[in-house]
Chains A and B, each alone.
Chain A
Amino acid sequence: MTESHLAVKMETRGLHFYYGSNHALKNINIVIKERQITALIGPSGCGKSTFLRTLNRLNELIPHTRIEGAVILDGEDIYQPGTDVVSLRQRVGMVFQRPNPFPKSIFENVAFGPKVLGLGTKREIEEKVEQSLKAAALWPEVSDRLHSNALSLTLGQQQRLCIARVLAVQPEVILMDEPCSALDPLATLKIEELMQDLKKNYTIVIVTHNMQQAARTSNWTGFFHLGEVLEYGPTETIFTHPKDPQTENYITGRYG
């Protein structure tokens, strides 16, 4: 099957982003396909994370930033005036670089989203928490201590908790900003397996520094360099026949 037949979930058109006078993203045009894993790679400071944060408008929490162009989610520009940013962020969830559970219980962490969104009764929220922890492959490890502090978990468990916390608000897209960079190889493997599982129901965009991770997990890969996308396409093509010499240098480890 050719992957170009897949439905488009998100798309950016002529996207520019500025931190003050620093032109951080230059004319980004990327199509993100539904229920696929899209990996964004590139050297540090190339704009991958900035790009990721334009997809759920988290960047606008930073003062003195400006955006041009469009980010389309299911055919609607999320930057057009009148967009409900709160519901946008619920539809486009995010997992951060460092596991960052709230200093609350495991249960309260996962229940946070459903509670602020007012999703259902106490009973329904309890079910939601259980489902989400199961979907994040954390349930067997924590089912007997839901009310102990989330910070008592290992980093790998904390990151899966953060994934469960995102799943609990029933997002459509999950953005992952180097989710494994603070984790050991075993914990990383668990997250990667989890991503394959989540792919069945969610669209995933992952920023990673780890070439093998991008190659192993993703269907699509974009190579960022100095705020531009030098190359974007099926992961297999990017890793076996890169068109751009910079991409080749980067993925073969000549610089990073």
Chain B
Amino acid sequence: MIINRSRYMTQSIAKFLIWMGALSTIAVMILILFQILKEGLPVLHLRFFLDSPKNMGREGGIFSTLIGTMALTGVAIFFGAPLGVGTAVFLREFTRESKISRVIRFGTDCLAGVPSIIFGLFGFVFFVIQLNMGWSILSGGLTLAAMILPTVISTSEESIRAIPPSYREVSYSLGGTKWQTITRVVLPSALPGIFTGILLSIGRSIGETAAVILTAGSSLVMPTSLFSPIRTMSVHFYILAREGISMEMAYGTGAALILLVLMINMMAQWLINRYIRHRT
């Protein structure tokens, strides 16, 4: 009986700790959101989104940084997503467990552990200086593409792994080629997972600061081409706060960032529900 009681005791304590863990996660999230939105929301008017920053960001809005953020993220996904999904397909469908696949996996794991400032340094030395692309959307986007690769690869690989082998067998047994099996059976079934990976990558690209300052610069001028330098919202937030230019504007930018990420998440959720779940 005594042993039994202590078992129940352990059970209750464990349950308590697990609940506390979950609740504190939510509490931290709410605290951060509350803090930023309380200070930032009053600044958010339509003008704030549609005006470009004036006087170093003390006045005006964030329009050029919004454009910069979207352009940079777009370039990062444009290069990073196909490369990452392609690598995942290669690892899952073209090589069985082998030396090559182990080397690639080891490489991506290493890449995932590299601090972003190192990516920034690499991007600066390679894209900005070596390839003479200067501080630009392209330099920054390519650097971010390299940074998000591990995420795209591992989430895509995971969702490709989860597809029942019988789907492939059926496709082959109906006379499908390998390529048709990949494009018509494997990728469509893996789409929700691949999408999630890309979404995480978008979030990471939008939030990245260190690597972006080093590769895309911090210009407030509206970009005109892929070779223009830009300032993203995260960098803008960092500079406004770090150099004490305007805490008010910094919080406004922060709130806008949060809303942007929230919007992208909701949109993606909607897309997944609309086009993927219903089809399956």
Write the residues of chain A forming the contact surface with B, with a CB cutoff of 8 angstroms. Answer: 56, 58, 61, 63, 86-87, 89-90, 93-94, 96, 98, 100, 102-104, 112-113, 115-117, 149, 162, 165-166, 169
Contact = CB atoms under 8 A, between A and B. Distances in A.
A61 B169 contact: yes
B166 A113 contact: no
A58 B169 contact: yes
Contacts of A86: 175-177
Nearest to A114: B174
Given A103-B189, A103-B280, A98 B166 contact: yes
Interface of B: 96, 164, 166-177, 180, 184-185, 189, 279-280
A21 B171 CA distance: 29
B174 A90 contact: yes
A115 B184 CA distance: 10
Contact of A165 (B166, B174, B177, B185): B174
Contacts of B172: 58, 61, 89
Contacts of B174: 89-90, 93, 112-113, 116-117, 165-166, 169
A93 B173 CA distance: 6
Nearest to B174: A113
A96 B169 contact: yes
Nearest to B170: A100
Contact of B96 (A63, A98, A103, A112): A63
A139 to B, nearest CB: 20
A-B pairs, 8 with minimum CB distance: A90-B175, A113-B174, A103-B280, A94-B173, A116-B176, A100-B166, A116-B180, A63-B96
Nearest to A166: B174
B272 to A, nearest CB: 15
Contacts of B177: 86, 116
B167 A89 contact: no
Contacts of A116: 171, 174-177, 180, 184
Nearest to A88: B175
Nearest to B179: A116
B175 A89 contact: yes
Contacts of A90: 174-175
Contact of A87 (B170, B171, B175): B175
A86 to B, nearest CB: 5
B176 A104 contact: no
11 contacts: A56-B173, A61-B172, A90-B175, A93-B173, A103-B279, A104-B279, A113-B176, A116-B180, A117-B174, A149-B280, A165-B170
Nearest to A151: B280
A72 to B, nearest CB: 20
Contacts of A117: 174-175
Contacts of B168: 61
Given A58-B169, A100-B164, 14 more contacts: A56-B173, A58-B173, A89-B172, A96-B169, A100-B166, A103-B279, A103-B280, A104-B280, A112-B184, A113-B176, A116-B174, A116-B175, A117-B174, A166-B173
Contacts of B167: 100, 102
Contacts of A63: 96
A174 B175 CA distance: 13
From B170, B171, B180, residue with most partner A Cβ within 10 Å: B170
B39 to A, nearest CB: 47
A96 B166 contact: yes
A90 B174 CA distance: 5
Nearest to A92: B173
A88 to B, nearest CB: 8
A120 B24 CA distance: 60
B175 to A, nearest CB: 3
From A86, A89, A116, residue with most partner B Cβ within 10 Å: A116
Given A63-B96, A96-B166, A98-B166, A113 B175 contact: yes
A103 B279 CA distance: 8
